[in-house]
Structure 1
Amino acid sequence: MSHHFGEIRQLGYVVHDIEAAMDYWSKTLGVGPWYYNPKVPIVNYRYDGQSYEPHNSVALANSGFVQVELIQTRNDVPSMYRDFLRAGRTGLQHVAYWTQSYDADVERLLGQGFKPKMSGEVGERGRFIYFDTEYHPGTVIELSEVAGPKGKMFDLIRESSKTWDGTTQPVRPFPDLSRL
């Protein structure tokens, strides 16, 4: 466990082909079911202090306690994901820590010298921030707010993985966050 952040709750993989990645993870590794959103509705997105409109596809599944996130960029908006791919990398890009005390945790981390690089929101109380911590591939740190509907969705994904039989409906749509 990290003494700064708590437990790593998510491993974020940037891929060129999210459909092939979901297929590999479910069929070969037995991880699933995958909850897939071909266009994540990110608002208030910022990269290096500038506002953009990203189009990212995301798939989420759990392997035990840890959530696996697959990310495919669909446009050329500046992002840490795009930077990772342009550097010739694919695979693990970030680790995420989850919080229900987002504002206090961000303030604490900024006070410790962490520098924000990318941020945004997905639904109510679904803020996220990535810090400029890529000292080697896969070390970017994300802090993700899970106090609202996004946290409930993450609970649903984790619970679904516990009873998934490995074959039935390996890819499912994201639930409507406004109904959680």
Structure 2
Amino acid sequence: MSRFFGEIRQLGYVVEDIEAAMDYWSRSLGVGPWYYNPKVPIRNYSYRGASYAPHNSVALANSGPLQVELIQTRNDVPSMYRDFQRAGHTGLQHVAYWTQQYDDDLERLMRQGFKPVMSGEVGENGRFVYFDTEYHPGTVIELSEVAGPKGRLFDTIRRAAQGWDGEEPVRPFPDLDTL
């Protein structure tokens, strides 16, 4: 178990072509179905203390209990994803820990010296923060709140992957307000 918050729950991959990546992961690796959102509604987004309006496409699927996230940036808004690509990388960009005690866990990490770089919200109780890599060279660490609708979405995605037969490999994100 991790000394942070238990298991790593998500691997986040930055890709150049999300449709091709979903096809590869589902057909070649058997991971799916993918829940795809062509424009994630991120609120209160901040990168290095400044506010921006990112346009990111995201696809989520599970392989057992581990969630895989594919991310494609669609505009040139400053982000850790853009930094990763500008450094010549694609592939695994972050690992995420999930929490229902976001404020307490964020405070604990900051006391340990972790520095928030990028943050925002997706739906109600769906805050996220990515930390500077200074103390963890390489892959970025994300803390993701999974209470409320976002947590229910993640449960839906995990259940859909159990016994998935390869049919309907790409599905739309359900409306978070209805979960």
Same fold (TM over 0.5): yes
Query: Normalized against structure 1, the TM-score is what?
Result: 0.97
Q: Distance in 2 between matches of 1:155 and 1:92?
A: 22
| Shift of residue 136, structure 1, vs aligned partner | 4.0
Say whether residues 1:173 and 2:172 are aligned partners.
Answer: yes
Query: Where do residues 151-162 of structure 1 align in structure 2 (5 Å cutoff)?
Result: 151-162=151-162
Question: Residues 1-180 of structure 1: matches in 2 within 5 Å?
Answer: 1-133=1-133, 135-137=136-138, 139-166=139-166, 168-180=167-179
Cα distance in 2, alignment partners of residues 133 and 8 from structure 1: 17
Q: With structure 2 as the length reference, what TM-score do the two structures score? A: 0.98
Give the superposition deviation at 1:133. Answer: 2.0
Q: Aligned-pair distance for 1:6?
A: 1.4
Cα distance in 2 between the residues matched to 1:109 and 1:95? 15
Distance 1:150 1:2 in 2: 23
* Per-residue Cα deviation, 1:117-175 (whole angstroms, up to 9, x for no partner): 000000000000000126443x1000000011000000000000003102x11000001
Q: Quick one: distance in 2 between partners of 1:57 and 1:124?
A: 19
1:66-85 Cα offsets, whole Å, 9 max, x none, are: 00000000000000000000
Alpha-carbon separation, structure 1, partners of 2:4 and 2:25? 30
Q: Structure 2: how far apart are the matches of 1:152 and 1:4?
A: 23
Between stretches 4-13 and 21-30, larger displacement belongs to: 4-13
SS, match of residue 118 in structure 1: strand
After TM superposition, where is structure 1 displaced by more than 4 Å over at least 4 residues in a row?
Answer: none
How many residues end up aligned between the 2 structures? 178
Residue identity in the other structure for 2:74: R
Deviation at 1:5, TM superposition (A): 2.4
Task: Look up the equivalent residue of 2:3 and give its one-letter code.
Answer: H
Partner-residue secondary structure (3-state), 1:81: helix
- The CA RMSD over aligned residues, in Å, is 0.9
